[in-house]
Structure 1
């Protein structure tokens, strides 16, 4: 999705001048609001995988905690946790100043529930081992981002304090949920417009292809060795020359009074190349947050 299309959809105002911009998240203990998210997923025409769409709704309550990370109490809609409908709430998610997920205080219990869902919905000869293999490498902070992607995406443009009017680049080291070395990414924020009530923030990120391929290959080699050791040598040979590209882009419309992104639109394009063949997957997200009610 082209950036100017996203900007138009978010109703961007006139371009911002190059000046300091800050929009801290300013919410009291007990503030409650609703987050709604939809995601459409498409694959390239050569893929046999079907396109899909999914939606979820969470009721969020912020709990401020002195000396400890703040917590969002997440109450999923009747559909349960995204992708794991049998996992009901409420679920506590630790968050930072931008309300990005940073941990799960009850991760051992939640992991057990998720593994049970995997076993029930995908039976097979290796499923018991696979269920544990998928979740066991994850620390609580990685799991909070993997299982609550809509919270992570909604927080991207929140709580910024940067120069407006020009991209602000940075480099990051991203954890691989399946284990393996961190993945290097190059990213940038840009405040594209500001008025008295709202600001529009663009964020872009791209994986370093070599770093991503190295990390994912090591992680997949470990999984194959654990689950199907008789196939490990064959997979290791097939994975030589694997390439992984990922490009993300989000536009966030920030309500300046509260610092919340009232609308976030994101696209993620992942291209994997192995054995001379490539497959591309595209995810498009739309996330809205209602204005909070305060106690």
Structure 2
């Protein structure tokens, strides 16, 4: 049995050889003229980062033994592999050294406080019911009570209220040093790929041509009537959406080329008004285009 951490796909054959699918290199996020879909899929965006020109450390674990996915021990091993525990070091004046309040065999996907309630979310990935160690109050994700429960049904997700008193907390000091002893390692290296200036110029040339086409189709649309008017308007939204996709793509790649691919905090998180405005306009055009995909599909 193979456990993959960030692996999109793998293949195992009877001889015991395991093959990993490590790369999916694409530069254009679109697939036009699909057989079973009205319109294209995905935007006309130039995304050189998708070439994956970086170092990535892939991790897998292999379990060898007579077991199945219905064995909860497998899921405990997988949880430890996927999310190893974080060990923290801190100095404190308290006397309590442990607080054990919950023990179940089911995988735990979240644990948190909502209002004044401690809520735990479990899931049962097996095909059989799993008894719990004690009776719990099942709630909604917001902590609203539903019913008491002693068994987790097969293939279900449960949110349970943990009726335990919190440890007494003292007033923390003004400064407390907390050190991570097992800080997670980032498995992805720096991006070594940059946008191709020639491709950006091609985008900008295509933008000029699309602007002319959009103006021409808009004039046709205003002069048509009946079903033909809907068809022309559909083409108008097709072209205009593609125009804004190319505008946004060219702008994003120009910005990335200007900073030579360096990703600082402002580049990643600060709002860029020009990009935000283009993105909002593009989103509106994508909605209109999709609506007209359906309109021309049903209107006689």
Q: Classify the TM-score, shorter chain.
A: under 0.3
Higher fraction of helix: 2
Higher fraction of strand: 1
RCO greater where, 1 or 2, for CA within 8 Å and sep 6 or more? 1
Report the structure number with the largest CA radius of gyration.
Answer: 2
